[in-house]
Structure 1
Amino acid sequence: MIHYDYFSRKKLSVQSSWSEDWDLLLSSWDNSARVKTCYELATAKRKLWLVHPEYGIAGDQLPAQEYFSIAGDEAEGIQALLLKIEELGVDFKAARIAVDITGMLRPHIALLTRFLQIKGCRKFDAIYAEPTSYPDRENTKFTSGDVIEVREVIGFEGHNRVSQDREVLIVAPGFDDVLLREIVSHKERAERIQIFGLPSLQPDMYQHNVLKALGVDTPLPEETKGVRHFASAFDPFAMATELSSIVSGYRMRSAATRFYVAPLATKPQMLGAALFYLTECQHGMLSILYPISSSHVPGPSVGISRAWLFKIDFDLCDSLGRRSQAIHA
């Protein structure tokens, strides 16, 4: 397995402006206090709001500052965004870029990470702000429309082969049990592994998470050995490390295993899954799955408790990737 603790992270103040001086800040508008606070505290030469039509935000509630609409699926939306950034004169290889993933849709988080790497960006900073609470607790909904399809996130499809490979679904269940049911139904014959967010964003959120998963994909306590795993809900590097541990364990026993990862919980866990894929699985039999919904609930949280900065270093990804290949050679 590979440890991703080599990556740097730090806590940011939610009371005063940040010392980082970025060339470009990208932040997705969901009209919540979390994204507004981070936008104001960040120091950047240029700031660009991203508007996801899936949030259904009315025109009079859109940001007063410059924004760009992310239309289509994640590939169409992110490709159009990259063209917009190039039109702004940003050099991906040299610019200091920050991405606030707090309000961004999960498939877009993964694909933007991959496209930044393809564009020659060697480093970027990811920001995530934790909520104070969700008023509806375990009944909080993050999607409001029908699930259109369950599919692999574009750019994270993995490789298939005609065989009777063992299938393993690694799911990080969130509060939205509808999404969890769709994923479990889609891969009902696969062996299932769970990764719960612990430590959670707030002390009570782990219990809420388990309550929503209970009856869908959560075995009884006496049946959880080897099935239930844990990774910090706010740390993408902890998620990547846990995925590496799980997948490596299976590969040591049998190479004929097809993996599906479904990060349904926090945004940092999706970022962690993307980093794991880009570092260890680009040419392997592992995919990131996600239930695509027609609409999402904008800003269901209240307040902001903490903010984090995660330094994504693609040179370090390359180095860890070579180590992983040597281990499994």
Structure 2
Amino acid sequence: MIDYSVFYKRHINTERIEVELPSYDVFISAYNSSYRVNKVYDAIKAVKKIWLIHPEYNYSQIEYPNDNPKVCPDDISEINQVRKLLEEVGDIEGKTICIDTTGFMRHVLVFLIASLHMLKVKNFTALYSEPLFYEKQGDTSFSTATTGKPATIKGTYQNKPGTDHLIINVGYDHKLIGEIVENKEGAKIYPIFSFPSLSADMYQQSAIRASKAGSAAQNASWINNRHFSPANDPFTNAAVISEIVRSIDESNHEANIYLSPLSTKIQTLGAALYWILEGKTRGGVSIFLPECLSYSRETSSGLKRLWSYDIEFF
């Protein structure tokens, strides 16, 4: 097992971003209409700043930000989006890289992190910004349309002959949880709730929304196998996933593990980190997500906190 407590994270003063963070060679952010994404982009110092404009946000060219360069993929596949992004980044050997995870589509973020590891990037900085609140609070919906057919992130599929186990980071999108569980009917479920949450009311809002996830929330394992991980800590999330998998392996080494990070984007990064550092070697661990066709451009208000994470690949 990896000791995830050795990884470093710190809080960044949102009024001193350009002072408290160093200058980077490359800064990458996924554009959306939220204040927090744009505030961080403007404040970061970097030789090269890149906007990734996900097609899921459905921006027209006239709505694109003025900043250049911009990467504008024409389809939603993670392979296409990351390929175009890395083409714009260019040679990354020896460069310092910073990625703001806040606006990213989950499947693209996972594939990007896995691609950086494959390209022998040893470390990079990840950022995540917390909102003051979600504008629709407990009624917030992030994804607005899906294919209805969840899929394994390209390059992460691994299969073993044992039973299926589904580890879900629980977020606001109860329909996505329902899609995942229905697709893996019969799998043993291990929900990870975001606690502590980004604010006192968000845990309650998320729990209420998750209770609407149909058969998933009525499954006995939804209660019996419940775990918790801080909403803003990818390293603890990776550690919790690692512990769940270890407990499964005690009785079933041939189990198939499906990771479905459906909460904060930084917890999604934690799931990707676990897969890279442990899951890939174990085998039988796949990252499994709904396919989103469209996504809300803005769901939050303000910028409450900004976090910086030092990501290292051993």
How far apart in 1 are the matches of 2:222 and 2:261? 22
Deviations 1:54-102 (A, max 9, x none): 101233321110111133300111012112211xxxx322000000010
State the partner residue of 2:189: 192
State the partner residue of 1:300: 299
Q: What amino acid maps onto 1:297 in structure 2?
A: S
Aligned pair 1:13/2:17, yes or no?
Answer: no
Q: What amino acid maps onto 1:119 in structure 2?
A: L
> Is contact 1:7-1:311 (8 Å) kept?
yes
CA RMSD of aligned residues (A): 1.7
- Give the drift of 1:222: 11
State the partner residue of 2:81: 77
How far apart in 2 are the matches of 1:52 and 1:124? 22
> Is contact 1:143-1:295 (8 Å) kept?
yes
> Is contact 1:31-1:61 (8 Å) kept?
no
1:71-220 correspondence runs (5 A): 71-72=74-75, 73-86=77-90, 91-158=91-158, 160-161=159-160, 163=161, 165-216=162-213, 217-218=216-217
TM-score when normalising by structure 2: 0.93
> Is contact 1:148-1:294 (8 Å) kept?
no
Task: Determine helix, strand or coil for the equivalent of 1:205.
Answer: helix
With 92-101 and 252-261 compared, the bigger mean Cα shift is at 252-261
Q: What amino acid maps onto 1:75 in structure 2?
A: I
State the partner residue of 1:319: none
With 190-199 and 13-22 compared, the bigger mean Cα shift is at 13-22
- Give the drift of 1:148: 4.5
Task: Determine helix, strand or coil for the equivalent of 1:145.
Answer: strand
TM-score when normalising by structure 1: 0.89
- Give the drift of 1:187: 0.8
Deviations 1:135-157 (A, max 9, x none): 11121111112334211011221
- Give the drift of 1:103: 0.3
How far apart in 2 are the matches of 1:78 and 1:243? 25
Give unpaired runs (5+ residues) of structure 2. Answer: none
Percent of aligned positions that are identical: 31
Deviations 1:144-192 (A, max 9, x none): 123342110112212x24x3x1211111121111111101110121011
State the partner residue of 1:65: 67
Q: What amino acid maps onto 2:236 in structure 1?
A: A
Aligned pair 1:34/2:36, yes or no?
Answer: yes
- Give the drift of 1:215: 4.0
Deviations 1:276-306 (A, max 9, x none): 0000111400111100011111121111100
State the partner residue of 1:259: 257
Task: Determine helix, strand or coil for the equivalent of 2:291.
Answer: strand
Give unpaired runs (5+ residues) of structure 1. Answer: 316-329
Measured at CA, do residues 223 and 308 of structure 1 come closer, stay the same or move farther in structure 2, by a change above 3 Å? closer
How far apart in 1 are the matches of 2:13 and 2:73? 29
How far apart in 1 are the matches of 2:195 and 2:286? 24
Q: What amino acid maps onto 2:73 in structure 1?
A: I
Q: What amino acid maps onto 1:25 in structure 2?
A: F
- Give the drift of 1:220: 9.0
